[in-house]
Amino acid sequence: MSARDTALAASEKLIGTEVGVSNWILVDQAMIDQFAKTTHDEQWIHVDPERAAAETPFGGTIAHGFLTLSLASRFAYDCFNMLPGQVMGINYGMNKLRFLKPVLAGSRLRGRFTLQKVTSKGPVNLLRENLLTIEIEGEKTPALIAEWLGMAVFKD
């Protein structure tokens, strides 16, 4: 049995289970400002704390939705190891993505992963679909939920 087939059989047993919860990450104003500069999205709701406090219902600045989403890779590093025989993992995209709650500057976030589906893709690839929930510490509603696709690539 190939390493990919062994990983497929093992992964199929985990469908429907939570496979990882990451460490918390602080999303502070410095991180938001750096992301704004990098992406050229310097909208005042993200980078002007005084104006955001005065003119928004949030009481201060909020992180970009795409900043929150971009932390998914960091969360995945906390939760997933390479499978036996896997040579690399590739971000394959999202099926569904919803931003549910703004992330206030100074919030801490973490990722929670639940394996939903595993599919063989050719002789060396394994496509894994995880429900990703990015939680905000102290909040019942998550920042976002997404069906995240990851391709595990094996040597043949």
Task: Please give the chain's pLDDT, 156 residues, in tens.
Answer: 788 888 888 899 999 999 999 999 999 999 999 999 999 999 999 999 999 999 999 999 999 999 999 999 999 999 998 888 999 999 999 999 999 999 999 999 999 999 999 999 888 899 999 999 999 999 999 999 999 999 999 987
Half-sphere exposure of 87 (CA within 13 A, CB side): 6
Question: With 0-12 CB in 10 A as exposed, 13-18 as middle and 19+ as buried, what is 75?
Answer: buried
**pTM for the structure as a whole:** 0.93
| Three-state DSSP class for residue 95 | strand
List all residues 6 or more positions away from 52 whose beta carbon is below 8 Å from its beta carbon.
Answer: 44, 45, 46, 58, 59, 60, 61, 62
Q: Report the distance separating Cα 99 and Cα 129, nearest Å.
A: 19
* Domain 3-27+63-154 belongs in CATH node 3.40.50.300: no
Q: 54 and 106 in contact (C-beta within 8 Å)?
A: no
